[in-house]
Amino acid sequence: MEITDLISRLTVTSDVNVRQALQAIEAGSLGIVLIADPKDGRFAGLLTDGDIRRTLLSGVGLESPLTAIDRRKATTVRHDTTREEIVKLFSDTIRVIPVLDVAERVVDLAIYDRRAHLPVAQPVLGERELVYVTECILSGWISSTGRFVGEFEKRCAEYCRVPHAISTSNGTTALHLALLVLGVGPGDEVIVPTLTFIASANSVVYTGAKPVFVDSEASSWNMDPAAVERAVTPRTKAIMAVHLYGHPANMRALREICNRHRLHLIEDAAEAFGSTYHGEPVGSLSDIATFSFFGNKIITTGEGGMVLTANPKLAEHCRILRDHGMSPSRRYWHTMLGYNYRMTNLQAAVGVAQIEKIDMIIEAKRRIAEDYVAALADIPGLSRPHEPAGTRSVYWLNSFCVDPAVVGVDRDFVMAELKKHGIETRPVFPVLHQQPVYAAGPHSPMPVAERISAHGISLPSDPTLTTAEINRVAAHIRQAFQTQTLVRTS
Ligand SMILES: *Cc1c(COP(=O)(O)O)cnc(C)c1O
């Protein structure tokens, strides 16, 4: 629809009645009606459907003149106002701003498109975070002492049904501590999936041990237990399972391998806070588990991490290492080489507010995943990892593989096309065994992970995405595939 048509549909003169104004709101479908002066067409105000609803409830009838409704002063802009200035005027209540010419007539409408930009992930922060952080500031407890640190640890332990939780400065330091307290060190090997974020492997190297990379399963994208079995050597000390993109790894198979070879089992659950495996929360499925609360994770503390374990000795050891190796019974007395890996009360304050809304976040994440499945179902050449049977994934990111043989375009082309429309995407992690820091090898062949890594793309997955926005992403993916088909046949 041309903007002039839209404006004329939305406009009534100030001498009409309430019913006619409602009809204009209905016709324009923006939830507002513009009011013009009957003499010269000058802008004379704006009413929202809410304004009219309130008036009707107060007893004013449909046939009453529009003048019976109180009109607030409307926000308008001149036609030479810059885009940046207009954007600043939008708020929860102001979503349509009339643009006036010199004669004060409406010539355009600035409409708040809720998302010109759809991010891959974004924290859901609100009033509770502000209240708790404010409490830290007002009380002066902003460092690593304060009530929120213990409170956040307790909440995480309860949520994951694990007796001990030790907060840390980030997910990588949590992994480092977990490996150290298991006794992983020089000469040891730790089996790590090649398809994960680099911190899974780096933390192994920090201990002096060597990460041994293994291939993924095509179905879940997680580490393939058969490949793990083949990678076990006399030097293997532990297996690090990563719940990639939120989908729980095959913990039963991995546990069985660990039992048979007397290995430790670690969970890097950074991407999967809240996922469950046969009814058990991730974080409770191994000897020691870690989370990350980086800004794009399921819940965030800005930067932050957590170690979870049922073993009180490991927990105590983590607490000492986290705090410079200081003896719990004697101040400034250091019994071992430690680190400063503590979380601050400020971070934990955000964490407590976040865990209070974990159910809402997970529900939104799962709804988004369902919406993607529905929206993308009829597009051939797209495949996604499946939530393994018996598990409930939090779908940290919605990731898909684009099969270039089927659709005629590659992943990078689709990403570039979506970017043109303000849709942010990420490539799936590049496999670790090909990264410059780890490429020296030797490595076993990893065809499945290499294929996923080369063709995988993560789509916007932040919890506030609407179904309409997901349909928009799907429409642009469809269009990207078709663009290429046109180019090829012409
Ligand atoms: C985010 C992440 C980490 C590291 O967490 P930080 O808090 O950024 O240090 C580790 N492993 C995986 C799989 C991750 O996704």
Model confidence pLDDT, tens digit, residues 27-40 = 877 789 999 999 99
* CA distances for 253 relative to 87, 224, 236, 250, 474, angstroms: 53, 9, 17, 6, 36
pLDDT value for 114? 59
pLDDT value for 488? 47
Residue 117 CB-density burial (10 A; 0-12 exposed, 13-18 middle, 19+ buried): exposed
**Edge-to-edge strands, sheet with 32-36:** 11-13, 32-36, 43-48
β-bridge mates for residue 456, sequence order: 401
pLDDT at 137 over 90: yes
Q: What is the mean pLDDT of residues 114-136?
A: 90
CB of residue 294 inside a 6 A radius of ligand 1:
yes
pLDDT value for 288? 98
pLDDT value for 1? 57
Residue 380: name the closest of 485, 490, 488 by CA. 485
Residue 425: name the closest of 216, 197, 117 by CA. 117
Of 268, 394, 458, which is best to mutate to test ligand 1, by the most ligand atoms within 8 angstroms of its C-beta? 268
Residue 457: name the closest of 423, 486, 432 by CA. 423
Of 169, 176, 194, 197, which is best to mutate to test ligand 1, by the most ligand atoms within 8 angstroms of its C-beta? 197
CA 138 to chain CA centroid, Å, is 30
pLDDT value for 113? 64
Q: What is the mean pLDDT of residues 180-185?
A: 98
* CA angle, 474 then 478 then 479, to 5°: 115
CB of residue 196 inside a 6 A radius of ligand 1:
yes
Residues 6+ apart with CB under 8 A from 38: 13, 14, 15
pLDDT value for 112? 72
- Find out whether 291 and 269 touch, Cβ atoms under 8 Å: yes
β-bridge mates for residue 51, sequence order: none
Rounded to an integer, what distance in angstroms lies between the CA atom of residue 211 and that of residue 236? Answer: 10
- Find out whether 184 and 206 touch, Cβ atoms under 8 Å: no
pLDDT value for 489? 45
Q: What is the mean pLDDT of residues 168-190?
A: 98
Rounded to an integer, what distance in angstroms lies between the CA atom of residue 365 and that of residue 387? Answer: 13
CB of residue 170 inside a 6 A radius of ligand 1:
yes
pLDDT at 472 over 60: yes
* CA distances for 385 relative to 192, 222, 228, angstroms: 19, 9, 19
Residue 274 CB-density burial (10 A; 0-12 exposed, 13-18 middle, 19+ buried): buried
Three-class SS of residue 35?
Answer: strand
Rounded to an integer, what distance in angstroms lies between the CA atom of residue 258 and that of residue 251? Answer: 10
pLDDT band at 173 (very low <50, low <70, confident <90, very high): very high
Of 292, 296, 341, 428, which is best to mutate to test ligand 1, by the most ligand atoms within 8 angstroms of its C-beta? 292
Q: What is the mean pLDDT of residues 243-272?
A: 98
User: Tell me: the pLDDT tens digits for 188-227?
Assistant: 999 999 999 999 999 999 999 999 999 999 999 999 999 9
* CA distances for 102 relative to 77, 79, 89, 108, angstroms: 11, 8, 20, 13
Counting residues of the chain whose pLDDT is more than 70, the rounded percentage is 97
pLDDT value for 423? 94
Which atom, in ligand 1's list, is nearest to the CA of 175? 10
Give me ligand 1 centre to Cα 201, in Å.
Answer: 11
- Find out whether 282 and 159 touch, Cβ atoms under 8 Å: no
Give me ligand 1 centre to Cα 270, in Å.
Answer: 5
Three-class SS of residue 324?
Answer: coil
pLDDT at 407 over 50: yes
Give me ligand 1 centre to Cα 100, in Å.
Answer: 50
pLDDT value for 484? 55
3.30.160.70, 3.40.640.10, 1.10.3720.10, 3.30.2320.80: which CATH number matches 127-356?
A: 3.40.640.10
The total of other beta-carbon atoms located within 10 Å of residue 78's CB is 11
CB of residue 246 inside a 6 A radius of ligand 1:
no
Tell me which CATH homologous superfamily contains domain 358-489: Aspartate Aminotransferase, domain 1 (3.90.1150.10)
> If you average pLDDT over every residue of the chain, what do you get?
93
pLDDT value for 490? 39
| Nearest protein CA to atom 2 of ligand 1, as residue | 270
Type and span of the H or E element at 264: strand 264-268
Give me ligand 1 centre to Cα 415, in Å.
Answer: 23
- Find out whether 251 and 277 touch, Cβ atoms under 8 Å: yes
What DSSP designation does 422 have? T
pLDDT value for 412? 95
| Nearest protein CA to atom 4 of ligand 1, as residue | 171
pLDDT at 295 over 70: yes
Give me ligand 1 centre to Cα 124, in Å.
Answer: 19
CB of residue 200 inside a 6 A radius of ligand 1:
yes
CB of residue 197 inside a 6 A radius of ligand 1:
yes
Which atom, in ligand 1's list, is nearest to the CA of 203? 10
Give me ligand 1 centre to Cα 303, in Å.
Answer: 10
pLDDT value for 82? 82
Rounded to an integer, what distance in angstroms lies between the CA atom of residue 367 and that of residue 462? Answer: 11
pLDDT value for 76? 94
3.10.580.10, 3.40.50.300, 3.40.50.720, 3.40.50.360: which CATH number matches 3-112?
A: 3.10.580.10
Rounded to an integer, what distance in angstroms lies between the CA atom of residue 487 and that of residue 440? Answer: 41
User: Tell me: the pLDDT tens digits for 318-376?
Assistant: 999 999 999 999 999 999 999 999 999 999 999 999 999 999 999 999 999 999 999 99
Give me ligand 1 centre to Cα 178, in Å.
Answer: 14
User: Tell me: the pLDDT tens digits for 420-430?
Assistant: 888 999 999 99
Find the radius of gyration of the CA atoms of the chain.
28
Residue 263: name the closest of 215, 231, 292, 291 by CA. 231
CB of residue 220 inside a 6 A radius of ligand 1:
no
Which atom, in ligand 1's list, is nearest to the CA of 296? 1
Q: What is the 3-state secondary structure (H, E, C) of 90-134?
A: CCCCCCEEEEECCCCCEEEEEECCCCCCECCCCCCCCHHHHHHHH
Residue 217: name the closest of 365, 404, 387 by CA. 387
- Find out whether 152 and 273 touch, Cβ atoms under 8 Å: no
Residues 6+ apart with CB under 8 A from 331: none
β-bridge mates for residue 46, sequence order: 34
CB of residue 242 inside a 6 A radius of ligand 1:
yes
Q: Where are the domains of the chain?
A: 3-112, 127-356, 358-489
The model's pTM: 0.80
CB-based burial, 180-201: b 16+ in 10 Å, e otherwise: bbbebeeebbbbbbbbbbebbb
